[in-house]
Chains A and B, each alone.
Chain A
Amino acid sequence: MQLAAPPVCAGQIEEMSAGVKYYRFKESDGRMAVVAPMAWVRGSVAEQWDIDASSMVDTLSGASQQYVSNRGGQIVHALSSASIRESRREQALKLTRWFGDDSVGLGWSLSEEHDYRSETFALDTRFERHDKNVTLAFGVSGSRDIIGATGKPDLRETRSTHAYFAGITQVLSPTAIVQGNLEIVDGHGYYDDPYKYTMTFLGARPTIQYDQRPETRRGAALLLRYREFLPRLDAALAADFRHYRDSWGIRSLMFDVSWHQNFEQGWSLRPSLRYYEQGAADFYAPTFAASVATGSSDARLGAFGAWSAGVKLRKVFDNGHSVDLSAGVYRQKASWRLFGAGSAELPDYRSRFLMAGWQMAF
């Protein structure tokens, strides 16, 4: 859950810009495929007011993990036999009011699909101090989710989440800047995945454990971000590090590095590399000999390491238009976890993406 996207430049943006993005995502082994076009508009709309609006539609197709079974002695993550085709709509709107260099923003976002609805309201403020060498940012947000399931018409559960955010940005030199953010998330309600279950065979008849999770989840994320421009190379280095932990026992680390290289005529190339790992949730297990109150075999709650690599090519034209094309791959493997053990029975996961974008300033 994240607060709405910030403006690019500290201080009121004078220009309006708008753009579209086209995103394609495909998992390996004939699993999920997503196509998501998105449109956005952002900039100053009046004296002291900025707006940031976006809208996107995801179309998902393919099969997703439905159950985990140890039949025949091997752990298998079986895909549902039905191939789905669903669409999800997401809209977001943020209004920012400027008071000199400081600002207050109000954001709203809504995500809807046939069996899930999530609505969020967020309030954030930013203060610039020491000639804008230090920026303090604070935010709070609240989300309300309504969860249902196809094939379970009686299921209508809710979940409510609050997030609290504080961040500090410090200019280190004319070419370097660093940011540290802390976000605490506190949620209550329905977390189960109504589509998933685990079948454990000890004899002929399996024990069935439905995906059941605690009714609360409290987590904290610490994100450190660094940006440096190298004038002699006409390039910028970006590095992000995040540590996350929550009340489900999950601990995670993430490192994300990219190198933005500028070329003549407004061209740029940005390769990037990301490492992510997580430990398993306390109630995660691949098998359940007896059913328990909280238990899940969802791969997303297991322990694994993941690498992803991507590259983005961009061209900025003199008239203020720009086009960009990105592609990347993502791979998850239990044995790739560097700072702990992985959940050995987790299958490998692979996906790739393609993204194209166009934007203009006016």
Chain B
Amino acid sequence: MKRFVLRVVGWFALALLAGCANVQPWERAYLARPEMAFDADPSEARLMRHTYQSKEAAAGGYGVGGGGCGCN
């Protein structure tokens, strides 16, 4: 499993270096839309994940997320 984790870290490093588009703060109208959030309805996500976890062995990965609007 150590190799798996190292490989994943390697991918992340590459992704970080690659960089992507630089979207300006005022161009975030679409990204700010509630349906574009990673967990648009956190309560619903919580309930659904709880149900899946009671019937499945795998879980996790959701932690904390970013993105969204350019607001301050």
Residues of A within 8 A of B (CB): 1-3, 5-6, 8-12, 19, 21, 23, 25, 34, 36, 38, 40, 42, 52, 54, 56, 100-101, 105, 124, 126, 128, 130-137, 139, 163, 165-175, 177, 179-185, 218-223, 225, 227, 229, 231, 236, 238, 242, 244-248, 250, 252, 254, 260, 262, 268, 270, 276, 278, 281, 300-301, 306, 312, 324, 326, 330, 332, 349, 351, 353, 355, 357
Contact A181 B63 (CB under 8 A): yes
- How many whole Å from B6's CB to the nearest CB in chain A? 11
Closest 6 CB pairs of A and B: A135-B66, A223-B61, A5-B42, A244-B58, A169-B66, A252-B58
Q: Are B36 and A236 in contact (CB under 8 A)?
A: yes
User: Using a CB–CB distance below 8 Å, which chain B residues touch chain A?
Assistant: 1, 4-5, 8-9, 11-12, 15-16, 19-25, 27-47, 49, 51-52, 55-72
- 19 A-B pairs with C-beta separation under 8 A: A2-B59, A5-B45, A6-B63, A10-B71, A11-B72, A101-B72, A124-B63, A128-B66, A131-B24, A133-B21, A135-B66, A169-B65, A174-B27, A180-B12, A182-B61, A223-B60, A225-B38, A236-B36, A242-B61
A contact face: mostly helix, strand, loop, or mixed: strand
B residues less than 8 Å from A246 (CB atoms):
1, 57-58
| Cβ A222 vs Cβ B8 within 8 A | yes
Contact between A180 and B15, CB atoms less than 8 A apart: yes
Q: A225-B65, A238-B35 are in contact. List 18 more A-B contacts (CB 8 A).
A: A3-B64, A8-B42, A10-B71, A36-B47, A42-B42, A133-B22, A134-B16, A139-B63, A139-B64, A177-B36, A222-B61, A223-B61, A227-B67, A244-B59, A260-B35, A306-B55, A312-B44, A357-B44
* Chain B residues, CB < 8 A from A171: 20-21, 23, 31, 67
CA distance A297 to B28 in the complex (A): 51
Number of A-B contacts (CB under 8 A): 240
Q: Are A221 and B64 CB-contacts (below 8 A) given A36-B47, A133-B22, A170-B15?
A: no
Query: A163 — which chain B residues lie within 8 A by C-beta?
Result: 60
Collect the chain B residues with CB atoms within 8 Å of residue A301's CB: 57
Q: A270 vs B15: C-alpha distance in the bound complex, in angstroms?
A: 30
Check B37–A8 contact: CB distance below 8 A. yes
Q: Is the CB of B59 within 8 A of A6?
A: no
A1 CA to B29 CA, complexed, in Å: 33
Per a CB cutoff under 8 Å, which of B31, B34, B39 touches A175? B31
**Residue among A3, A170, A172, A301 with max Cβ neighbours from chain B (10 Å):** A170
The 8 Å CB contact of B65, one of A11, A137, A172, A218, is A137
Closest to B25 in A: A131
Instruction: Give Cα A19 to B4, complex, Å.
Output: 40
A177 nearest CB across to chain B (Å): 5
A172 neighbours in B (Cβ, 8 Å): 20-21
Contacts of A355 in B (CB 8 A): 44, 47
Q: How far is the CA of A34 from the CA of B55 in the complex (A)?
A: 14
Q: How far is the CA of A353 from the CA of B28 in the complex (A)?
A: 35
Contact between B67 and A182, CB atoms less than 8 A apart: no
A5 near B39 with CB under 8 A, answer yes
Q: Are A254 and B23 in contact (CB under 8 A)?
A: no
Contacts of B60 in A (CB 8 A): 1-2, 163, 183, 185, 219, 221, 223, 244
Q: How far is the CA of A184 from the CA of B9 in the complex (A)?
A: 12
Collect the chain B residues with CB atoms within 8 Å of residue A248's CB: 57
Indicate if the CB atoms of B38 and A131 lie closer than 8 Å: no
Once the chains bind, are B5 and A126 in contact (CB under 8 Å)? no
Contact A38 B43 (CB under 8 A): yes
Q: How far is the CB of A216 from chain B (nearest CB, A)?
A: 12
For the complex formed, measure the closest distance between the CB of A139 and the CB atoms of chain B, giving whole angstroms: 5
